[in-house]
Structure 1
Amino acid sequence: MKRTLPGVRVALTLMALLGVSLVGCSSEDVAPTPAGGSVDVQFDVAVPASTPCSATVEVVGNDPALGGGKSPGLALKRDVDGHFRGSGTFTVGKVLTYNFVLTHPSAQEPIAFHSYMVENRRNIQRQWTVSKWSVAPDPEHLPTLFVVDVPASTPANSEIWLSGNQESLGNWNGAGVQLAQSYSSERSYVTCLEFSPGTNLEFKATRGSWDSVEKDAQGGEINNRFHRVDAPSTVAAQVGSWRDLVPEEPRPDTLTGNIKYHEVDGSAYGLKNRQLIVWLPSNYDTDTNAHYPVLYMHDGQNLMNVKTSAFGVEWGVDETAQQLVEAGQIEPIIIVGIYNTVDRVLEYTQMPSPPRDGGKADDYGRLLVETIKPLIDSTYRTKPEPEYTGLAGSSLGGLVSMYLGLTHGDTFTRLGVISPSVWWASRDIVSRVNALSDKKPLRIWLDIGTEELGSDADNQETVDDTRLLRDALIAKGWVLDGDLKYLEAEGGRHNEASWRARMDQILKYLYPAH
C-alpha cells in the first residue's frame, strides 16, 4: 500500500520543476511475499535522447542497496530503448526515499526526490520518465544510440563490435567499439557514441574482426550501414548472419594481365614476412630487349584482385594499367604491389602519434630499398635508376610514400601521395617538408577527396591538411602542374572505389607516354 509521507508534496514540487514525472508503476500479481521477506524492485527510467553518452544514472537513497544515502548507489544500465534499468532487493514494508543522480565524469546532478513503500508483491517494476535534466544538452555532441540485434546462430558469450569510418568506430579496423548486452534481451547489444552535427557515419557490425563481419540472412555481402547525425537518435541494425558461420561464396579472381608472386622475409628488419604481386605489361614476354620503369605500391592485396582485397573492392590497377599501355597513354611499366601486414600502422608511419603507436617507416623503407627492389631488379628487366622508380599508396600508404620520397629520394623519384594521412603526429610530414634544406628531384602526384571522412567538418579539415602539404611543397620549389600535380576529387571518399576512379590520372601523370 502506498503511504503519503511528510515532505512528499515538496518532493513532487521539485520533480515538476526539474521536469521529472511518474508515468506509472506496475507489478505482477502473484503469491505475496511473507511478512519480513524481501522482493526485487526494478527501476525503469526513461531519459531524454540528449542524455550524454558518458553519463550514468544511479538511484541513491536510504537503503544499503541504494548506497545508504551516498553515491555510488544502485547503478542503472542504459538499455536498447534508451531507458536506464536496474534492480535491487529490498525488505517488504520498508519506506525507500531516493533520488536519481545523473553522473558525469566531473559532476553529479540530483534530479528528483521520491518515496516508495516496498510492496508485498514480486517482480515489482517502478517506471519513471525524465523529461529533461537540470543541465542543458551539448548541441555539439549529439548522442547516437546504436542497437544491434544478432541472429540466434550467434555463439554464446560473443563480443559484438562496430567498425566504421570514425575514430570512435576504429577507422575500419574491424573492432572499433564493443557493445554491451542489453539488460532486457540476450540477443540485443547497445552502445552510445557522440558525434558532431552533420557527421556521416558508415559502419558494420562484427564479432571482433573482418573474418566475422555481418552478412545478410542468406550469407551475402551487405553495403556499409549509413546514418547522418543531425539530432540525438537511435540507430538500429539487424544482423542476418556472420561471415565465419555461413558458407561463403568464394570471391572471384579478377586479375588481368601477366601476374607473378614472390615471398619476402622481413625478419632482418624486425618486420613480418609478406607477399608481393607483380604486374607485367603484355609485351614483357615477347619484347625481350625492353626494360621497364617500376612503380611500387603499398597495400598490395587491395590493388588488383577482389579475392584478396580487404573489403571486396579492388583498385583495378591491373586493368587500368593495361588499358592505358595498350592505348599508348602511358609508357609500359611494371607494377609491384607490396602486401601489408597486421603491423600496417606501425610500418606506414614515421613516428608515434599518441595514443597510437607508430614509427617503423624507416625499417619498412629499408625492406623496400635493400630487399624488395633488388629482388625485382634481379628478376625482371627493369630500369633500376631512381628516375624510373616510383612509390605510391593511399591513406597511411600516401603518408609513407611522401616520407620515403623525402628520405630515399636517391631510390624513388615518382610519388603517388593519394588521400594521405597528413594529420598523423600533428602534421609532422608538413614540418619535414618545411625543414628541407633544398628541393628533392621528385615528381609528385598529391590528391584528396572532398568527402573523405564522415562529417563536413572532418572533410574540410582533411582537405585543409592536404593543402598545407601542397603549399609547403610549392614553397620549397615544386611547380604546380609541373613536377607537382594536385587534385581535390569532388565527392571522393576514403575508399578503394574512389582511388580506383582516379587511378588512370595518377598513372598518366607519373608515367606519361613519350
Structure 2
Amino acid sequence: MPIMKKSTGLKLGLLLPLTALVFRAEAQVTIEIRKVPEKTPATDTLFLAGNPNNWNPRNPAFAFKKAANNRFYLTLPQGEGELEYKITRGSWEKGETLANGAGRGNRAYKAKAGKDTIRLEVENWQDNFASPAKVHTAASNVQVLSNEFWMPQLKKSRRVWLYLPPNYATSGKKYPVLYMHDGQNVFDAFYSYSGEWGVDESLNELFKTQGKEVIVVAVDNGGEERMNEYTPWRNARYGGGKGDAYVDFLAQTLKPYIDAHYRTKSEKEHTGVAGSSMGGLISLYAALKHPEVFGRAGVFSPAFWVSPEFYEYAAKTKVAKDLKVYLVAGAKESKEMVPDMARMRDLLVKQGMKPSAFVYEVHADGEHKESYWQREFPKVFSWLFAK
C-alpha cells in the first residue's frame, strides 16, 4: 500500500518500513509550518504523513492547527528516534513538492532530549502542477477476474486480477498458480499507486525464452485496510489483526474458486503466495498457517517490524518439509529490515527447514520500492517453481 509509495518523488517513502519510535517522556517535538504556497485553499487542513503514522496522508491525529499568526503547528507524541515525514493536504495528490513542482525527498529529523521545534516552509503542492497522464500497461493476457469478488471472511468485496499464460487458450494444459497481494501494483501502471512490478511482462518473457508457465491471481489491497488485513496481530499504533481472515479467504474461498474455473495444478507444490513489505509478511504467514495449501512463498522485503509476535508464532509452528521460501531484501531499506529477516531465517532453520528449501538474499543496492521487487521477481519465481 502497499507497506509505501515511492513514485515521482511526491510519494517517496510511503511504502518504507517504519523506523520505530521508542517513547520516553523527556523528548517532544513541535513542527511549525511558517509559510505555505499562496494558492493553498484556506479551508484545507494540513497533515503530517510519516513513519509515526504509517505514512497515512490524512491521519486526524497528525493534523496541524492554524494559529492566529497564520502559521501551522503540530506537537508530536513524545519519543526518540529518526523522524521521516512529508506535509500533505489530506492525500498524496495534494502532497508537498519543491517550488518548481519536482518531487522532494522525505524530510528527516533525529529527535533530541527535551523539547524542540522544527520550523519549515512548504514550497509548493503537487496539485498545482499538471500530472503526467497515466497509461495502461497490462499485457493482453491479463484480465480483471472481478471488480467485486466477495470475501466472506472479511465481509467485503475486492478487485481480483488474473494472468493466464500465453498458451492457456490453446494448450489444454494445467498450470501452477501464484497468489499475490497489492494487486494494484502487480500488472498495470494505470492503477498503481507506487509503480508496478511488471509481473505480466516478466512472465511473458520467461515463457518465450524458457517455456515457464504459471497462472497469477492478484488481489487488490483494501487501501486503509491494508495494514489491518496484512498482519494477524493487532498493533496498538498501526492496526492489524485481520490477517487470519485474509489468508483464510485466499486458502478457503479464492483458491477453490480458481481451481474450479481454471485449469490448475491444485496441489500445494504447485501453489505459491508472494508479496512485498506487509505483503511479504502475510505471504510467509499464509504458508505457515496453511501448509496444506501453499507450498511456495516469495517473501520480498518483509515488514516483520510491525508484528513482533510473528517470531514467537514461527518458533512454535512446525514447518512443512516440502515448503520452499525465498527471502529477499535490500541493504538500503530500513535499518531493521535485514536483521529482522535474518532472525526469521534462523527461526525457520531451527524449525527444521533445510538449506535447500529456502533462499536468503540481501542486495547491497536494494531499496524498498517496486522497481527493486520487479527486478528480483523473475529469479524468485523461477526458483520457487523450478521443476
Q: Normalised by the shorter chain, which TM-score bucket? A: 0.7 to 0.9
Which residue of structure 2 lines up, in the alignment, with residue 331 of structure 1?
212
Aligned ranges 1:111-150 → 2 under 5 Å: 145=31, 147=33, 149-150=35-36
Deviations 1:90-144 (A, max 9, x none): xxxxxxxxxxxxxxx97xxxxxxxxxxxxxxxxxxxxxxxxxxxxxxx8xx6968
* Separation in structure 1 between the aligned mates of residue 290 and residue 339 of structure 2, nearest angstrom: 27
> Structure 1 residues 321, 192: CA separation in 2 closer, same or farther (over 3 Å shift)?
farther
Unpaired stretches in structure 2, ≥5 consecutive residues: 1-23
Which residue of structure 2 lines up, in the alignment, with residue 258 of structure 1?
141
Which residue of structure 2 lines up, in the alignment, with residue 181 of structure 1?
66
* Greater strand fraction, Structure 1 or Structure 2: 1
CA offset at residue 305 of structure 1? 1.7
Secondary structure at 1:282 match in 2: coil
Q: Is the 8 A contact 1:418 1:448 kept in 2?
A: yes
Which residue of structure 1 lines up, in the alignment, with residue 231 of structure 2?
349
Q: What is the aligned residue count?
A: 356
1:505 and 2:387 correspond: no
* Separation in structure 2 between the aligned mates of residue 338 and residue 155 of structure 1, nearest angstrom: 36
CA offset at residue 507 of structure 1? 1.4
* Separation in structure 2 between the aligned mates of residue 284 and residue 148 of structure 1, nearest angstrom: 60
> Structure 1 residues 276, 221: CA separation in 2 closer, same or farther (over 3 Å shift)?
farther
* Greater helix fraction, Structure 1 or Structure 2: 2
2:337 to 448, 462, 467: 462
Q: Is the 8 A contact 1:144 1:195 kept in 2?
A: no
Aligned ranges 1:34-183 → 2 under 5 Å: 145=31, 147=33, 149-164=35-50, 166=51, 168=52, 170-175=53-58, 177-181=62-66, 183=68
> Structure 1 residues 277, 370: CA separation in 2 closer, same or farther (over 3 Å shift)?
same
| Amino acid paired to 2:339 | D
Q: Structure with the greater relative contact order (CA < 8 A, sep ≥ 6): 1 or 2?
A: 2
Which residue of structure 1 lines up, in the alignment, with residue 281 of structure 2?
399
* Separation in structure 2 between the aligned mates of residue 390 and residue 261 of structure 1, nearest angstrom: 20
Aligned ranges 1:218-229 → 2 under 5 Å: 222-227=103-108, 229=110
Secondary structure at 2:159 match in 1: strand
Secondary structure at 1:463 match in 2: helix
Q: How well do the aligned residues superpose, as a CA RMSD in angstroms?
A: 3.0
Which residue of structure 1 lines up, in the alignment, with residue 315 of structure 2?
434
Identity %: 31
CA offset at residue 204 of structure 1? 3.3
Secondary structure at 2:368 match in 1: coil
CA offset at residue 180 of structure 1? 3.2
* Separation in structure 2 between the aligned mates of residue 183 and residue 406 of structure 1, nearest angstrom: 56
Q: Is the 8 A contact 2:273 2:283 kept in 1?
A: yes
Which residue of structure 2 lines up, in the alignment, with residue 373 of structure 1?
255
1:273 to 125, 149, 157: 157
TM-score (norm 1): 0.62
Secondary structure at 1:273 match in 2: strand
| Amino acid paired to 1:281 | P
* Separation in structure 2 between the aligned mates of residue 361 and residue 412 of structure 1, nearest angstrom: 16
> Structure 1 residues 367, 145: CA separation in 2 closer, same or farther (over 3 Å shift)?
same
Q: Is the 8 A contact 2:154 2:246 kept in 1?
A: no
* Separation in structure 1 between the aligned mates of residue 290 and residue 319 of structure 2, nearest angstrom: 14
Which residue of structure 2 lines up, in the alignment, with residue 116 of structure 1?
none
CA offset at residue 181 of structure 1? 2.7
TM-score (norm 2): 0.81
* Separation in structure 2 between the aligned mates of residue 327 and residue 200 of structure 1, nearest angstrom: 46
